[in-house]
């Protein structure tokens, strides 16, 4: 939902910076790799130690690389399937690092097994939510649904809450409760989004099969279609 409205705004804001990097000979792939490395460092160095404010600052500095690299590719006229693949793959790595950092904190000094489990659920469900769309599109379905909590919402909710919770270390009492609340919101929202996408794929699949006259479970298997034991 946020992705639909915010991406166009930030793309316009970051266009001059993307043009500057191109003039300096920086490639979009390099920006993708550096951005992911920065997010991972911010999440896995700071979050497990409970330094949520500084971790969020570092992550925020690098997370916009996801918009900059695509902007650079469009300006340079070098958009490619490889670039799209690399960007999407490393997005999953970055997301895993963020929620993995939360899980490490609650498994260690945070000492809360329930919130550790919630953070792990956020990590796993985020990957599955992304997979359902990619898998649906790979078998020729549009997966035309804007989920309740997609990647942009997961990042904004969790990082804003983490940054504010980090102010507890500067003497702001009681604010650290925001991170657990945010993790529960992301977990529940991701579960709802997963359900929305599964229902959408089921409906679109039935409509496509009805249009071609092929029964869903007896149609011959094609590369990329569901097979027994497939993930």
User: Who's near 125: CB < 8 A, 6+ residues apart?
Assistant: 187, 190, 191, 194
The pair of structure tokens assigned to 185 is 């919101």
State the catalytic residue, choosing from 87, 91, 95, 176: 91
Smallest CA-to-CA distance from 46 within 64, 33, 60, 32 is with 60
DSSP state of 68: H
Distance CA 204, CA 212 (A): 12
Distance CA 66, CA 14 (A): 11
Report how far Cα 165 is from the mean position of its chain's Cα atoms.
21
The pair of structure tokens assigned to 43 is 């999440």
Is residue 91 annotated as part of the catalytic site, yes or no?
A: yes
User: Who's near 227: CB < 8 A, 6+ residues apart?
Assistant: 221
- Report how far apart, in Å, the C-alpha atoms of 26 and of each of 38, 64, 205, 224 are: 17, 16, 42, 35
- Report how far apart, in Å, the C-alpha atoms of 36 and of each of 114, 121, 124 are: 28, 21, 18
Distance CA 156, CA 160 (A): 6
| Active site amino acids | 91
């Amino acid at each position: 939902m946020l992705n639909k409205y915010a991406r166009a705004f930030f793309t316009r804001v970051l266009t001059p910076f993307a043009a500057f990097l191109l003039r300096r000979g920086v490639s979009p792939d390099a920006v993708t790799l550096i951005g992911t490395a920065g997010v991972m460092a911010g999440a896995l160095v700071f979050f497990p130690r409970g330094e949520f404010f500084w971790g969020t600052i570092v992550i925020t500095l690098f997370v916009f690389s996801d918009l900059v690299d695509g902007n650079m590719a469009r300006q340079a006229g070098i958009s490619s399937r490889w670039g799209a693949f690399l960007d999407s793959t490393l997005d999953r790595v970055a997301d895993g690092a963020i929620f993995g950092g939360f899980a490490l904190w609650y498994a260690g000094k945070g000492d809360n097994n329930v919130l550790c489990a919630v953070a792990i659920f956020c990590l796993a469900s985020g990957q599955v939510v992304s997979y359902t769309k990619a898998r649906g599109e790979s078998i020729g379905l549009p997966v035309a649904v804007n989920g309740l909590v997609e990647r942009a919402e997961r990042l904004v909710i969790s990082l804003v809450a983490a940054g504010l919770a980090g102010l507890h270390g500067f003497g702001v009492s009681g604010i650290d409760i925001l991170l657990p609340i945010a993790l529960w919101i992301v977990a529940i929202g991701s579960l709802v989004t997963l359900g929305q996408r599964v229902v959408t794929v089921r409906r679109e699949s039935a409509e496509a099969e009805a249009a071609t006259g092929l029964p869903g479970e007896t149609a011959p298997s094609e590369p990329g279609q569901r097979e027994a034991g497939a993930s």
